[in-house]
Structure 1
Amino acid sequence: MKKIEDYKKSALFFEGCISFITEVSPDTDYYHHCYKLVINLGQSFGCLIDGQTLDGLQGLIINQATPHTLFSPNAKLLVSYIEIDSFRGWQLRGLLNGQAFVNMNCLLSPIQLEHAIPSNYNELPDGILGGFVKVLMESVFIMPPPDSFIVNQSVQLALQFIESNLDNSLEAEDIACAINMSSEHFRYLFVQQMSIPFAHYVKWKRIRKSIAEALSNDNTQVLSYSDFILNHLDSDRVFKKVFGMSRSALLRKSRLLI
């Protein structure tokens, strides 16, 4: 394991995003890990969110800690999870400004949303389809990040340390000690800066890494690999809480664009 003082004191942010195409899940989702962007692919959808029932939606941006239920039988959706420590995540923090959600019709015209993803998306290779997703995001995330994008230097070190040691034991107490801070203050500062508890952040990063590495293997290895990697994360329970579906549904029944 690298020592935490080995890292340069400069911010290291990743364009962290996982996107996939799937059918509407009837389950209630409650996310602590990422912001969520949902776009319909030919059929509008509905959402029960923040005490409201929204119908006829083309797109929605949902805050990371907002419980919600998507509904519309047989609707296909493009779902993107945008990591809070990415540049886009910080842009979304400013865009949402504490709101539970933002209707994407407030950001883009119905025509823009309708044509954001080609109707023949099923025929496109992942690389080309991913390019359309990138263009869509660039059209949404045009605003600069808030001033608070400048993260506390100690938290910067912690983020880099976590990213490079996901396969090792990561305890808040150990990192706090390495940066000369009490564990209580480190946990408080981490939530203040990142809007997510330390343990939830580490869990999400491990899930994302396991998916990326599992997809690099052939299909016969995917399920057994995630079984092995995510066993210590109560994998099915955690996957369902994070993605609104089981591991097997995400890895085998959805089209992922990482």
Structure 2
Amino acid sequence: MTINCNGKLISLHQPKVMGILNLTPDSFYDGGKYKDDSSILHHVEKMINDGASFIDVGAYSTRPGAIEVDEQTELKRIVPIISIILKEFSEAIVSIDTFRSKVAIECISSGAAIINDISAGVQDQQMLNTVAQLNVPYIMMHTRGTPQNMQQQTNYDDVLKEVLLFFSERLSIAKSLGIKDIIIDPGFGFAKNLNQNYELLRQLEMMSFIELPLLVGISRKSMIYKTLNTTADQALNGTTALHMVCLQKGAKILRVHDVREAMECVKLHDQLNA
């Protein structure tokens, strides 16, 4: 179970951690926190030193109800930062959090190695063809609709069954185009209410039937802080608890705000299963 990142083979036999770098002013937890080159590089350096294998950079907030951002704004926010990161940390493996094929092309041209698409190619019909041409690892996530309306699209008869069906359809197209290194993300918090998120988590090991690496992004999300009657700022302990559950159920990548704590989960999980 390996992925090829700019010629570097990364094994996912043991779980890895992906650190989040949000360049948006309105992300649900750290929006607007990293406004200049110095703060961005300091955060990236900390994540790398804490053990992150990947840095996931996003310039379009995908939280429920987020404001629409045009393509040029997204490009202006993200492309220069890719170059800055890789100039300072040449060995860093940068993932791009975008659903737009043009943004993906520009970022990969600037040295990024992975495309992380919340829509699995649904929102931009050119994305899957683009990924195939770029020949880079591709993270495809389950959602419905857009960030602006996804929380009005939570009418599932069986959330797990419908998520698996979605991946079956999207993977069929992706593989027919020759896309090789694919990672799946069930999309916690995306077009799912609190109970559906936990139903999916309870049965997360069923995602192994797809036989592809599984990425989980639950860090500080409302499924945690609403259950605990707290806030995203106070949701680290709850996040850590559920990260261990995800690892036990087969997650191979944890996408997180807090790398050190997630790495501690990975190390304890590895020891437990040694």
TM-score band by shorter chain is: 0.3 to 0.5
Instruction: Give the TM-score normalised by structure 1.
Output: 0.32
Instruction: Give the TM-score normalised by structure 2.
Output: 0.31
Higher RCO by CA contacts (8 Å cutoff, separation 6 or greater): 1
Q: Which has the larger radius of gyration?
A: 1
